[in-house]
Amino acid sequence: MGDVTVQMRAFSELNLRSCQLSVLSLKLNHSECFIIFISFKELIILNFFDHTETGTIIIYLNTCIYFAISKSLGFGSDQWVYPNISDPECDLHPPRCVYCLYWSTLNLTTVEEVPAPVRDEEYLFVVFDFLVGVLIFATNFGNIGAMISNMNATRAEFQAHIDAIKHYMQFRKVSKELEARVIKWFDYLWTNKKAIDEQDVLKNLPNKLRAEIAINGHLDTLKKVRIFQDCEAGLLVELVLKLRPQVFSPRDYICRKEDIGKEMYIIKEGRLAVVADDGVTQFAHLTAGSCFGEISILNIKGSKMSNRRTANICSTGYSDLFCLSKNDLMEAVMEYPDAKKALEERGRQILLKEGLLEELDTGGIGEEQVEEKVERLEASLEILQTRFARLQAQYTATQQHLKQRLTALECRTRHSGSGFLSDDISVFKKQTNKQKLLDFLQMFYSTFMKRYQSSFISTEIT
């Protein structure tokens, strides 16, 4: 309201200065202009100034100029000018302002006939008013018509969705009570201007602008969640972009006891109730700014409730909530491993404080020892893989060399007979022994790998 008041003061000063210029040119005294100005301000509402500022200024200036011309030509001198102010009926100020405003509005909007001009000065002024009305007011009214058409198109599209759901419910023979709830839910969305899909509206914006919009709207709300307090700014920005608005109608269950928790919720508007299994008894109420379900999406080891819901929560009226799914949270914390550990530790402390955390068995091999063994096994595996690659390369080279020698042996046998066959056979035996050795090494490596995999799996299970 303060911004509107400042705009009104600036607008009033602009109008007063314009009025002073008109007075100087047409010799209109300040008192008469001020009376018209004050009366005119009282007749125009604030929203009209806000939405039709240009048209309002033009009508106001035209009103002052018409009154000034009437005074210059003489009040009541003809049918076009303002009536004679000496007449007792025209002595009051409000009728004077209302008549001038009425004449100016009719002349500029050309919605009704006004008294015809008589003198040349009057004709020129009327022609000027007609041009201003056609060029400016016609454009403004055209924009208003386009705006109404767009609103009708949006309404028609929304109504088409409602009709499709109505036909579906009739086809599936849904109960009348449930059908009425669905229709009321759609009516609430349209009445409160919440039928717009935020993701569809913002999809064309660059990521930075989308992030800034989300931060301005939802970051303070996200910081109120216990597990997200003191988190990294980058992680909070990632989570803010993944918040999804949801609207629940009266008596809708947001979650039920023993359900698997896949989302957490932050209340933006509305009121929720923690109810018993009968759905009537209410234990507590949640209002705007509250959140729930944040522990169940962390999968904290040792939690007595695992990742299941611990209470029934339903909406007592229409409620607007922000939803963050478990998949979106895990996707965001993948880039922030330290933040993930901090979230789990914070959630573990909350569960421990509420008595919902079981003490884990610390006997056996410690976590650090297991990690050291895994690292040693990985190092050994890397060495073995290097050796195996070297042996495989030697095996391939030997195979190629043997093929070349066999080819040469066949050629020499064809051309020279069997004289040199004994020497080549001895060489072939040596190469065969090498091949057997390579086959043995390959078998040894495969056996070792099988044993290594089985020992690694058993260590990991332990």
Each domain of the chain, given as residue ranges in start order, spans 31-156, 210-354, 365-455
Mean pLDDT over 154-167 rounds to 86
pLDDT at residue 252 is higher than 60: yes
Burial of 458 (0-12, 13-18, 19+ CB in 10 A): exposed
**pLDDT at position 368:** 56
User: Which residues neighbour 32 within 8 Å (Cβ) at sequence distance 6 or greater?
Assistant: 67, 71
**pLDDT at position 439:** 65
pLDDT at residue 46 is higher than 70: no
Q: Can you count the helices (H) and strands (E) in the chain?
A: 15, 8
Residue written as token pair 């600036």: 10
User: Which residues neighbour 85 within 8 Å (Cβ) at sequence distance 6 or greater?
Assistant: 75, 76, 91, 96
Number of residues that make up the chain: 462
Mean pLDDT over 8-24 rounds to 42
- Nearest CA-CA partner of 78 in 36, 122, 129, 108: 122
**pLDDT at position 273:** 94
- 443 pLDDT band (50/70/90 cuts)? low
**pLDDT at position 62:** 84
The CATH number of the domain covering residues in 210-354: 2.60.120.10
Residue written as token pair 């990991």: 460
**pTM for the whole thing?**
0.50
- 298 pLDDT band (50/70/90 cuts)? confident
Average pLDDT, whole number, for the chain? Answer: 75
How many angstroms separate the CA atoms of 428 and 134, rounded?
107
pLDDT at residue 260 is higher than 90: no
**pLDDT at position 314:** 94
pLDDT at residue 226 is higher than 70: yes
Mean pLDDT over 437-462 rounds to 59
Mean pLDDT over 295-301 rounds to 81
Structure tokens at 179: 């059908």
Higher-confidence position of 181 and 27 = 181
How many angstroms separate the CA atoms of 322 and 243, rounded?
6
Mean pLDDT over 219-246 rounds to 84
**pLDDT at position 321:** 92
- Nearest CA-CA partner of 239 in 251, 247, 231: 231
Dihedrals phi, psi of 52, to nearest 5 degrees: -125, 50
Task: Give the lowest-confidence range in 100-109, 141-150, 274-283, 446-455.
Answer: 446-455
pLDDT at residue 9 is higher than 70: no
Task: Give the lowest-confidence range in 227-231, 248-252, 276-280.
Answer: 227-231
- 95 pLDDT band (50/70/90 cuts)? low
**pLDDT at position 417:** 53
Q: What DSSP string describes 79-113? A: SSSPPPTTSGGG-SHHHHHHHHHHHHHHHHHTSS-
Mean pLDDT over 132-153 rounds to 70
**pLDDT at position 316:** 92
Q: In what helix (H) or strand (E) does residue 322 lie, and over which residues does it extend?
A: strand 319-325
Task: Give the lowest-confidence range in 106-120, 228-242, 336-350.
Answer: 106-120
Q: What is the dihedral of CA 152, 155, 161, 166, to 10 degrees?
A: -100
- 391 pLDDT band (50/70/90 cuts)? confident
3 state DSSP class of 256:
coil
